[in-house]
Amino acid sequence: MTQNISQKIISQHLIDGEMKAGSEIALRIDQTLTQDATGTMAYLQFEAIGIARVKTELSVSYVDHNLLQANFRNADDHRYLQSIAAKYGIYYSKPGNGVSHQVHLERFGVPGKTLLGSDSHTPTGGGLGMLAIGAGGLDVAMAMAGQPFHLKMPKVVGVELSGRLQSWVSAKDIILEVLRRLTVKGGVGKILEYFGPGVATLDVPSRASICNMGTEVGATSSVFPSDVRTLEFLKSQGREADWTELRADSNASYDEIIKIDLNILEPLIAQPSSPDKVVKVREIGGIEVAQVILGSCANSSLRDLLVASIVVEKRKVHPNVSFEVNPGSRQVLENLASGDGFLSLVKAGAKVHQPGCLGCIGMGQAPATDTISLRTFTRNFSGRSGTKDDKVYLCSPEVAVASAIKGVITDPRDLGEHPAIEQPKKLLIDDSMIIPPSPSPEKVEIIRGPNIKPLPPMDPLPADVSGEVLIKVGDNISTDDIMPAGVKILPLRSNISAISDFVFSRIDETFAKRAKKVSGGLIVSGHNYGQGSSREHAALAPRYLGVIGVVAKSYARIHKSNLVNFGILPLEFKNDSDYERVNQGSKVKIISARDKIKNGQDMLSADIDGREAVLIINVTNRERDILLAGGLLNYVRLL
Ligand code: MIC
Ligand code: SF4
């Protein structure tokens, strides 16, 4: 039987289930990655599982999100993560070494392998031909313990690329075009697999940028073939031995096909405050900008920084613009500095920062009130930048640098001829900020500062489920809305009781207090509830406040799994009209919910304010058992 790339990798890692779209499969995971903001919780969970050493081929712990050290908290977390890594057989990438996805691509990714990461942008590895998937920290902890990863077999969408990008148009424009067509929920339950003659025109960093932001359409993963361009990239990293060819069979089929002609693609931009509000740059050119940031795991490779450095050569950043550069990794920074690139950026007036996530997750770089910020980042959800009512646009490095020079949103084609970029044939490579695990793990002591609090215990699902609706929200609620990040809240990620006070705080400051007062309740939402990040705190913290269920029109994949993992019922309205008649304060009761879920019922009759409504519970049998146990950790203990 002919197979596409996704089917090839899945069939080689299939432990259980049938490769039929929508049915549950269990995959063997070769590699895992964590980052600090989700990692502390993932490792607390790994410790609770009680395994002496990770069972994966490779596991890496990155520190890239919580780099500000305004007090002891983040520094405490870093020390905890380093000691855990040393003891349990995990590589530790120190703060300052770069964003997990960029470093993993450079130093660890291998074509044809599976990678599970506690960060939603883990699919970046698809640029190397990996099947790379984002998940909650607990799922990653289970994978480190040697357990398979469970998911519904995705549909495989073939994205056929033809032609070649015109000058000043780059990979970001391709993924923005995908977002324009599919929207932020069009990829849920799907893998985007790229094929066609246009693929060979794209280098690995460009492919990685495209796979990275496949997350923004809600896709489970995105993948490119592994070909000569992949070999060229691995060679530049001194890792050609890791290369294998990976292609779809010549007449492989896809569940759907999308065609993109690269020849006619123009510079695109996503407007505030959703990555799918995409228009041509030309349509909104001329809007004044106050801040431009080049960086994030979508666009901070050496290629992207070299483009910017060459464009600003002999030019100056506009006087009214703060132009900031966040390199993706120390390798990128070192190689930029070894040529003329770094100096060109500094001379032009750029602020060059340490490698890391920084302003992308609101750790600094918040824009001024009522100003426009242009970023090459992944997401522009309202308030994520740290400024209320922010206006953040997402664009390519080319659009960013042109706008930084002109002071207004600028189609880079207005700058004239595109300067040639020359990538170094041989890169400077130095892995000294990646610390291998200890050869004597028994001697390593885990360092726990006062910021690290143990996981709260969780009760099994009660016989009846009842409570009041604590909040009613609309479509596309992101995990940034549910559990905001930023300078104040991100350092509390290792302390569930402290962070739970901020659940929904951007939408309704009274949420946590009200939830605590009535000991929990339910959340009601529209479509695509929980889009965006993999942060399990968006499930764990509401659960801590006593939230027992969410009733939504539909869910984002990772968040739905996180709800199950922490024992929150992910319910759906059978009739969307019931959504209209539920309000904050409505009383919901599902009699014998536990028995019904146990007996495999998928329609639950509920009483909402004295009227009947049918709620759907669309979960697998395994997930039913997890919900009954009160979450995945309880379930594992019962096995
Ligand atoms: C993000 O981009 O939203 C994050 C911060 O990287 C998250 C992870 C987190 O919340 O810690 C993600 O993408 O999963
Ligand atoms: Fe970091 Fe931003 Fe990438 Fe998330 S999207 S991993 S915050 S750079």
Looking at residue 562, its pLDDT comes to: 98
Q: Is the CB of 119 under 6 A from ligand 2?
A: yes
Q: Look at ligand 1, atom 5, and give the residue with the nearest C-alpha.
A: 361
CA 477 to chain centre: 15
Q: How confident is the model over 255-267, as a mean pLDDT?
A: 98
What residues have CB less than 8 Å from 506, skipping those under 6 apart? 383, 480, 481, 484
How far apart are the C-alpha atoms of 464 and 169, rounded to whole Å?
56
Q: Is the CB of 493 under 6 A from ligand 1?
A: no
Q: How confident is the model at residue 520 (pLDDT cuts 50, 70, 90)?
A: confident
For residue 638, pLDDT over 80 is answered with: no
Looking at residue 423, its pLDDT comes to: 85
How far apart are the C-alpha atoms of 115 and 36, rounded to whole Å?
17
Report pLDDT digits (tens) over 565-615.
Answer: 999 999 999 999 999 999 999 999 999 999 999 999 999 999 999 999 999
Measured in Å, residue 360 CA sits from the centre of ligand 1 at 9
Measured in Å, residue 394 CA sits from the centre of ligand 2 at 13
Q: How confident is the model over 506-512, as a mean pLDDT?
A: 97
| 3-state helix/strand/coil string of 565-599 | HCCCEEEEECCCHHHHHCCCCCEEEECCHHHHHHC
Looking at residue 575, its pLDDT comes to: 95
Q: Is the CB of 470 under 6 A from ligand 2?
A: no
Q: Look at ligand 2, atom 1, and give the residue with the nearest C-alpha.
A: 357
Atom of ligand 1 nearest to the CA of 537: 10
Q: Are 233 and 239 in contact (CB under 8 A)?
A: no
Q: How confident is the model at residue 451 (pLDDT cuts 50, 70, 90)?
A: confident
Percentage of residues of the chain with pLDDT beyond 70 = 100
Measured in Å, residue 103 CA sits from the centre of ligand 2 at 13
Measured in Å, residue 318 CA sits from the centre of ligand 2 at 27
Q: Is the CB of 540 under 6 A from ligand 1?
A: no
How far apart are the C-alpha atoms of 35 and 376, rounded to whole Å?
21
Looking at residue 425, its pLDDT comes to: 78
Pocket test for ligand 1, best of 119, 381, 559 (most atoms within 8 A of CB): 119
Query: What is the edge-to-edge ordering of all strands in the sheet holding 434-435?
Result: 131-134, 114-117, 31-35, 58-62, 91-93, 434-435
Q: Are 342 and 301 in contact (CB under 8 A)?
A: no
Atom of ligand 2 nearest to the CA of 119: 6
Q: Is the CB of 525 under 6 A from ligand 1?
A: no
Strands (E), 436-510: 465-472
pTM of the model: 0.98
Q: Which helix (H) or strand (E) holds 391?
A: strand 391-395
3-class SS of residue 604: strand
Nearest to 472, CA basis, from 512, 502, 508, 505: 508
Q: Is the CB of 143 under 6 A from ligand 2?
A: no
Looking at residue 585, its pLDDT comes to: 97
Measured in Å, residue 65 CA sits from the centre of ligand 2 at 7
For residue 48, pLDDT over 90 is answered with: yes
Q: Which two tokens stand for residue 207?
A: 């492919």
Q: Which two tokens stand for residue 414?
A: 């207005």
Measured in Å, residue 122 CA sits from the centre of ligand 2 at 10
Report pLDDT digits (tens) over 292-315.
Answer: 999 999 999 999 999 999 999 999
Looking at residue 310, its pLDDT comes to: 97
Looking at residue 401, its pLDDT comes to: 98
Q: Are 398 and 267 in contact (CB under 8 A)?
A: yes
Pocket test for ligand 2, best of 67, 211, 296 (most atoms within 8 A of CB): 296
Report pLDDT digits (tens) over 136-185.
Answer: 999 999 999 999 999 999 999 999 999 999 999 999 999 999 999 999 99
How far apart are the C-alpha atoms of 577 and 595, rounded to whole Å?
27
Q: How much is the mean pLDDT over the chain?
A: 97
Looking at residue 525, its pLDDT comes to: 98
Looking at residue 426, its pLDDT comes to: 84
- Could you give the C-alpha distances from 43 to 86, 141, 443, 494, 539, in angstroms and in order? 12, 7, 18, 10, 17
Q: How confident is the model at residue 514 (pLDDT cuts 50, 70, 90)?
A: very high
Q: Are 543 and 458 in contact (CB under 8 A)?
A: yes
Q: Which helix (H) or strand (E) holds 222?
A: strand 221-223
Looking at residue 594, its pLDDT comes to: 98
**Hunting for tokens 């920062």 — which residue is that?**
353
Q: Is the CB of 378 under 6 A from ligand 2?
A: yes
How far apart are the C-alpha atoms of 473 and 525, rounded to whole Å?
5
Measured in Å, residue 313 CA sits from the centre of ligand 2 at 28
Report pLDDT digits (tens) over 370-398.
Answer: 999 999 999 999 999 999 999 999 999 99
Q: How confident is the model over 245-274, as a mean pLDDT?
A: 98
For residue 222, pLDDT over 80 is answered with: yes
How far apart are the C-alpha atoms of 559 and 554, rounded to whole Å?
11
For residue 422, pLDDT over 90 is answered with: no
Q: How confident is the model over 323-349, as a mean pLDDT?
A: 97
Q: How confident is the model at residue 637 (pLDDT cuts 50, 70, 90)?
A: confident
